[in-house]
Amino acid sequence: MSPTDYIGRYAPSPTGPLHFGSLVAAVASFLDARAHQGRWLIRMEDLDKPREMPGAADDILRILEAYGFEWDGEIIYQSQRHEAYQATLEQLIAADKVYRCNCSRREVADIAHAGIEGPVYPGLCRNGLSRERDTIAWRLKTDAAHLIFHDRIQGDFDHCMQRDIGDFVLKRADGQFAYQLAVVVDDAEQNISHVVRGADLLNSTSRQILLQYCLQLPSPVYAHIPLATNAAGDKLSKQTRAEALSIENAADSLTQALAFLGLNPPDDLAEFPLAEIWLWAAEHWQLEKVPARLQSNG
């Protein structure tokens, strides 16, 4: 691949303001794209309207801009892409890769065994709906084959899709498309070659690669950066009340993000203008320096 074939992206969910954990993911994906002379796109993952915070999407873009991020091309909004997701679902229906399911979450939880990320759906509806209920979800069929993938930071993974994940939902009973489907459709639409994101999505990667395989789409290269946690060891998120990034502290936060990513910035870097900090960062970026393990952000 020539360097300019690199297309990276940052895909925030506007469920709340950006915090240090989101900044770290944005910085890593941005610097990696620039180090490859690649493009860096932004996709607003505003699929889950009930969880969205009004105004958060605009605030996120305002903060990114104030921090000195520069993105390429138009921003894609997932809320405007239902037709593309539906068309992809129909492609999977035609290929007999999916089935309808009307089990409730409760029914699944009662009988499912634990997988690597929650209960593994035991396939009750594989041969036809098993209950009287109008609300219908769509699930992708998995089998016992192993999906093996390499992560640039976290190493090699081997998931037995049926045992570790199970038949997973692509469209929910409430009509909403699942993140796993949307992200695969959009990464393909935007020709994403490299995904750099938080390690909370590491276990989603095999589902996304399986979907790409079913849809005969190319798979991007993946890198998952460690999650920033608070002093109690919880992932920084809206739920754990992570502090929102402020424009006044941009230089400090940015420098801390560089330190978190293993770049070892000089002590006085935060005293320089943002443009200088970015220059230093671009010069020193090396994905190999990013630690794989979790770190505490104090």
Interface with ligand GLU by CB under 6 A: which residues? 11-13, 45, 183, 197, 201
* CA trace torsion 58, 59, 63, 65 (10° rounding): 10
Structure tokens at 180: 């796993």
Enter the DSSP assignment of 280.
Answer: H
CB of 128 to ligand GLU, least distance (A): 33
Structure tokens at 157: 């993974």
CB of 149 to ligand GLU, least distance (A): 14
Structure tokens at 268: 């006085």
What's the rounded Cα separation, in Å, for the pair 209 and 215? 10
Residue with smaller CB distance to ligand GLU, 84 or 101: 84
Question: Cβ(176)–Cβ(47) under 8 Å?
Answer: yes
Question: Cβ(116)–Cβ(130) under 8 Å?
Answer: no
Question: Cβ(150)–Cβ(159) under 8 Å?
Answer: no
Position 53: which residue type?
Answer: M
What's the rounded Cα separation, in Å, for the pair 25 and 292? 14
CB of 13 to ligand GLU, least distance (A): 4
Cross-strand bridge partners of residue 295 = 228
CB of 273 to ligand GLU, least distance (A): 29
Enter the DSSP assignment of 131.
Answer: S
Residue with smaller CB distance to ligand GLU, 22 or 256: 22
Residue with smaller CB distance to ligand GLU, 162 or 205: 205
Position 17: which residue type?
Answer: P
Residue with smaller CB distance to ligand GLU, 209 or 277: 209
Helix, strand, or coil here: 218?
Answer: coil
Residue with smaller CB distance to ligand GLU, 147 or 270: 147
CB of 197 to ligand GLU, least distance (A): 4
Residue with smaller CB distance to ligand GLU, 35 or 199: 199
CB of 22 to ligand GLU, least distance (A): 7
Residue with smaller CB distance to ligand GLU, 171 or 197: 197
What's the rounded Cα separation, in Å, for the pair 178 and 48? 9
Question: Cβ(84)–Cβ(78) under 8 Å?
Answer: no
Enter the DSSP assignment of 240.
Answer: T
CB of 60 to ligand GLU, least distance (A): 10
